[in-house]
Amino acid sequence: MRQMKLGLFLAPAGHHMAAWRHPDAYPDGFSVKTYARFAQIAEHGLFDMLFVADVFSLTPNGKRSDNFRLEPLTLLSALAMVTERIGLVATATTSFNEPYHVARKFASLDHISGGRAGWNIVTSSSPREALNFGYDAHFEHAERYRRADEFTQVVRGLWDCLDDDAVKIDQQSGVFFDSGKLRLLNHSGTNFKVAGPLSLPRCPQGNPVLVQAGSSEDGKSLAAKYAEVIFTIQRDLAAAQIFYQDIKARVASFGRNPDHALVLPGVMPIVGKTRQEAQDRYYDLQSLIHREAGLATLGRHLGMDLSGVDIEGPLPDIDLTKLTQSRAIGIVETSRREKMSVRETWEKLVVSKGHRQLIGAATDVADSFQDWFENGGADGFNIMPPMLPNGLQDFVDLVVPELQKRGLFRKAYTGPMLRDHLGLPRPALLSH
């Protein structure tokens, strides 16, 4: 029986904009012990994977908690030592990295974790990132994705420079590895020139799992070509079904099996033992939103300065054709359609980073998950707890058992590697 996949999207304190202000939150995003607790709660809940995002810049707003973050590969290597099964996925941008570095780091994480690594391929959205790498401005949108395509090709090629059985470590004969089973990459393209090989044996999984997050046309094309897991922002089932059908068709057009490209929309569930308890938790968090933080965060998502706008009036006129981020387009479209004020827009949409919010008892959340899962809206969900650790613990204690009771989610891990959890095949070696 087909079962849904669950990822945990990690964030210091939680994903609600004001979570860090709540007395029960863990706002310290720099303690490995804090992250270890979150990872272990998720593993106890049998999550497929946990996911750490990354940005190479800081937004100078002292009212926000998500400015500061540990380097994700370093963090996940530490978490690999205190977990056994849960997958470990991190973002690494193709705009401000080199393919050899990314290939080596994720291959190392796969070896360290015993086959649990995944790479979330992004092109970076913040123009501030470019300023930290010697550029005056970010690459133009289409160029970013052309670079990402070639970057991903190179990384995959580096992962496949050695056969699975190339490393012998035969003390008797004195042969450490069979050089006849090693291939140079010798990639020479528009953006990169990389000889290879990678200085590691082939990964335990063959390759780390490839993940992609982005719903623009270029993003969907990149996902269809390479991604085995797709994170996406979808707020209603009808739109989710359209996205799901589109991405699966695109995957098939590249000669890939659509079942090997899993769609996981982000969801921020606020769960209680009763609906009223969930609503009370929601209003408690909403009361902590700082006006300046809400307005600044909305402006950042839309790429514009909103200082001085009437927060009780509608969003200013915005040309959707000039927005390249699917998150921003979705926020503007939803705000207009539902006739929201600027304040309502950040309270209802930006508070959860544009993702869907679910507020209710465990059966309410499970009902919605089942509806989307069984009716072509998702293969699972990327869970964004509103507050950590309580929001995650509530989900594991209340929602996971309800999904298991319905036969929708596993009752035990069946293999040691991330590919085992996700039902993904070990990739065949690429021919160079």
Q: pLDDT for 368-408, tens place per residue? A: 999 999 999 999 999 999 999 999 999 999 999 999 999 99
Confidence bin at 93 (pLDDT 50/70/90): very high
Tell me the mean pLDDT in the region 218-222: 94
Tens-digit pLDDT profile for residues 160-219 = 999 888 788 888 888 888 788 888 999 999 999 999 999 999 999 999 999 998 778 999
* Residue 156 or 345, more confident: 156
Quote the CA–CA distance of 416 and 411 in Å, as a whole number: 15
Q: Is residue 315 part of a domain?
A: no
- Asked whether the predicted pLDDT for residue 324 surpasses 80, the reply is no
Q: Model-level pTM?
A: 0.91
pLDDT of residue 181: 83
Q: Is residue 264 part of a domain?
A: yes
Tens-digit pLDDT profile for residues 16-48 = 888 888 988 887 767 899 999 999 999 999 999
Burial class (CB in 10 A: 0-12, 13-18, 19+), 431: exposed
Q: Is residue 242 part of a domain?
A: yes
Residue with structure tokens 């890939």? Answer: 256
The set of long-range contacts for 37-42, using a CB threshold of 8 Å and a minimum separation of 24, is 37/389, 38/8, 38/10, 38/388, 38/389, 38/392, 39/10, 39/79, 39/82, 39/83, 39/86, 40/82, 40/83, 41/389, 41/392, 41/393, 41/396, 42/8, 42/86, 42/392, 42/396
User: What average pLDDT is seen over the chain?
Assistant: 90
Residue 75 DSSP code: H
* Phi, psi angle pair for 231, to nearest 5°: -85, 140
Residue with structure tokens 């269809």? Answer: 224
* Residue 301 or 124, more confident: 124
- Asked whether the predicted pLDDT for residue 98 surpasses 80, the reply is yes
Tens-digit pLDDT profile for residues 239-253 = 999 999 999 999 999
pLDDT of residue 177: 82
pLDDT of residue 95: 87
pLDDT of residue 407: 98
HSE-up of residue 422 (Cα within 13 Å, Cβ side):
35
Q: Is residue 132 part of a domain?
A: yes
pLDDT of residue 207: 97
Residue with structure tokens 């690429």? Answer: 430
Q: Is residue 312 part of a domain?
A: no
pLDDT of residue 277: 97
Q: Is residue 47 part of a domain?
A: yes
Pairing of strands 175-177, 167-170: antiparallel
Confidence bin at 157 (pLDDT 50/70/90): very high
Q: Is residue 334 part of a domain?
A: no
Number of domains forming the structure of the chain: 1
pLDDT of residue 210: 98
Q: Which residues pair with 71 in a beta bridge?
A: none
Quote the CA–CA distance of 378 and 234 in Å, as a whole number: 10
pLDDT of residue 135: 78
**What's the count of helices (H) and strands (E) in the chain, helices before strands?**
15, 13
Q: Is residue 289 part of a domain?
A: no
Quote the CA–CA distance of 382 and 182 in Å, as a whole number: 38
Cβ-Cβ contacts under 8 Å for 149 (sequence gap 6 or more): 222, 225
pLDDT of residue 60: 62
Full residue range of the structural domain in which residue 122 is found = 5-271+355-422
pLDDT of residue 330: 78
Confidence bin at 349 (pLDDT 50/70/90): confident
Quote the CA–CA distance of 13 and 25 in Å, as a whole number: 5
Let me know: does 342 contact 312? Beta carbons within 8 Å: yes
Confidence bin at 58 (pLDDT 50/70/90): low
CATH code of the domain containing 97: 3.20.20.30
